[in-house]
Structure 1
């Protein structure tokens, strides 16, 4: 029965997850014409849960039969054996007392025990097992031992004493057990209104860092906290409210422009959409398409137009962290500057995976990834400390140091 109860709980979880995914993405399902496929997937889990329900019903019937036999069999045995017991000296009163004891004491106790263990007790054990399997208690969640005299440490703060929006601690990630880590023991803290640009050559780990911060990839070591919560302990729906990641290939679906813009904020009214269009310089695009109610066909949009729609959608999202992973590479420099400036004014933190050095110049701080030790600082600081950053900026000469000018050869 434990096995069947476990199968029933997991089938219910899978059905709930499948149904929730289908309902949340119903617009995409209709746009892609995938109704039959999605319906079949949900129906498969409906059938699985129904099968486990029927099995539990059969097991309950067997339990009731066993309880009936186990409860009434002692009475039957006593009644059949009564003459034999009386002949050997047992009094009629003793036989009657045994019958009363079995019927009013033993039988109810047996019924309570079997119903408790086979019913609610079994469900409790399986549910507890499932909770512990899904959310194991880690060492850092255990309360300290009474002998622990470690002084309490204040939570970390971001630059300027502000509460951190993003905390990355000791992050290590590699694409394989023998591969060189893309990031090793990396730490970073971002506060509200922080604007960080991430630069570096191709393959240095910029997009990997964005995926780790967004909770899409799990690190081999270290932690990522968003608004104080570890991303590994937050479900996808919760993560969607905490961060928005815009990749280079912008996703736009068939539907109205308003539907596309409301994708991450369904309650946005038309005035809010108009404010967003003006803030990001997307009003000309909306006018060309025919307004908010105009239909959008992704195949008829340029790559830059798709990126602009995705940017407006992300700007409207209530998430406090925005990650732009080369999400404006198809926009012209002037429009890109408008988009990044709008995100910088928006409440929350902004991380830009930069493909143009102008994005780094607009940021408060710049993170340089080049396969060696990551460097974090302002533009001026990195010009003095990082040869990779100077190369990206286009300056191959070392900066002038007071009292001595030095020049480095290219390469």
Structure 2
């Protein structure tokens, strides 16, 4: 939602449902409180009435044994049953009270004790309000600067990214490689503004990402994760989600550039229904790639967004984005992505190495190991690909999919 600039819309729609649920819970809690009080009184009231009316009953011929029997019945039979019912209802009321309290806490993030995220721990200047375009990137297009960026998922945990300095020049194609868990996706999320660093700054064309409103940021960069999202609707609606005003000619150009024409033909054209359940993982990635290609964003981030494509389809898609104006950031699924890049960033915990393929082959033992591991596994193994091309995933590629 952050990557698409839909935070305000999602918050508003979710808030309406939460408010309705809170109102219903309050009403139910009041009813339960009244019922619980009534049953609690009802458990003792018969006994009190019998004892208070015992002299009057005896004077009118009711024997003491009958009065004692009534007291025994109420105290031994009716009262325990009512008390059990009250306890059950009281437990439900307590559960409702706790639920209502949690909803109230979530609706008041500034209240004492409210949870805070990484944004609350960022050092430096106070954050500009999100949700409005406080600043507009100038120059570029697509110059990305990271200065002393550090990020960890908990205060007590070792940082995933530590004091990273990096500059991506306008139009540059960078590939990020490293072992599984090295922080490739974390870095992509930091550059995209989805995560905020605990220390340091990320700038896009000279403007801190934190100074950009969500709408402005969404117009200037696109992040495609590994698991592509396709929603129920027509294929055209899915492809033009980030560029609703795109013409058919523009959609055709994007489809042909990325290599999604067989998918369009298989589904029956742009007006055909795009059922996510009927699409393979590779086909969903093709839809997401076309969707990202259409808008004029100056920064494109592919976080293993081609991992389900065969090597030829992956190469075609990455080369299409590399020819496009702007900067390309690729978390590599195959080492072949690094061969196509201008520069390669090697992540290994908090240590990094940056250079061209030739430079890293000479200077980085980890990079040599990654390249050797890939070549030893059989080179260009296939991915799941799209059904129209008939590509299948190669088990050897799976073994090294986390380069």
Could you tell me how far 1:218 is from its partner in structure 2? 1.2
Contact 1:167 1:188 (C-alpha < 8 Å) held by counterparts: yes
Does residue 1:209 correspond to 2:197, yes or no? no
| Structure 2 match to 1:375 | 353
| Structure 2 match to 1:346 | 324
Q: Secondary structure at the match of 1:258?
A: helix
Q: Secondary structure at the match of 1:175?
A: coil
Write the distance in 2 (CA, Å) between the matches of 1:328 and 1:395. 20
Contact 1:18 1:41 (C-alpha < 8 Å) held by counterparts: no
Between the two structures, name the one with larger relative contact order (CA 8 Å, sep ≥ 6).
Answer: 2
Could you tell me how far 1:165 is from its partner in structure 2? 1.5
Does residue 1:387 correspond to 2:375, yes or no? no
| Structure 2 match to 1:21 | 9
Write the distance in 1 (CA, Å) between the matches of 2:315 and 2:245. 28
* Matches for 1:151-166 after TM superposition, within 5 Å: 165-166=143-144
CA RMSD across the alignment: 3.1
Contact 2:175 2:341 (C-alpha < 8 Å) held by counterparts: yes
* Matches for 1:3-402 after TM superposition, within 5 Å: 21=9, 40=17, 165-394=143-372
Contact 2:142 2:326 (C-alpha < 8 Å) held by counterparts: no
Could you tell me how far 1:199 is from its partner in structure 2? 0.1
Q: 1:38 to 1:300 in 2, by over 3 A?
A: farther
Contact 1:252 1:306 (C-alpha < 8 Å) held by counterparts: yes
Could you tell me how far 1:227 is from its partner in structure 2? 2.0
Contact 2:7 2:214 (C-alpha < 8 Å) held by counterparts: no
Q: 1:298 to 1:137 in 2, by over 3 A?
A: closer
Contact 1:167 1:190 (C-alpha < 8 Å) held by counterparts: yes
Could you tell me how far 1:217 is from its partner in structure 2? 0.9
Could you tell me how far 1:238 is from its partner in structure 2? 1.4
TM-score by length of 1: 0.59
Q: 1:380 to 1:314 in 2, by over 3 A?
A: same
Write the distance in 2 (CA, Å) between the matches of 1:350 and 1:214. 12
Contact 2:176 2:330 (C-alpha < 8 Å) held by counterparts: yes
Q: 1:208 to 1:276 in 2, by over 3 A?
A: same
TM-score by length of 2: 0.60
Q: Deviations over 1:195-245 (max 9, x none)?
A: 000000000000000011111111111000112211112221111012111
Unaligned stretches of 5+ residues in structure 2: 23-119, 128-138, 375-403
Q: Deviations over 1:29-86 (max 9, x none)?
A: xxxxxx8x675458799xxxxxxxxxxxxxxxxxxxxxxxxxxxxxxxxxxxxxxxxx
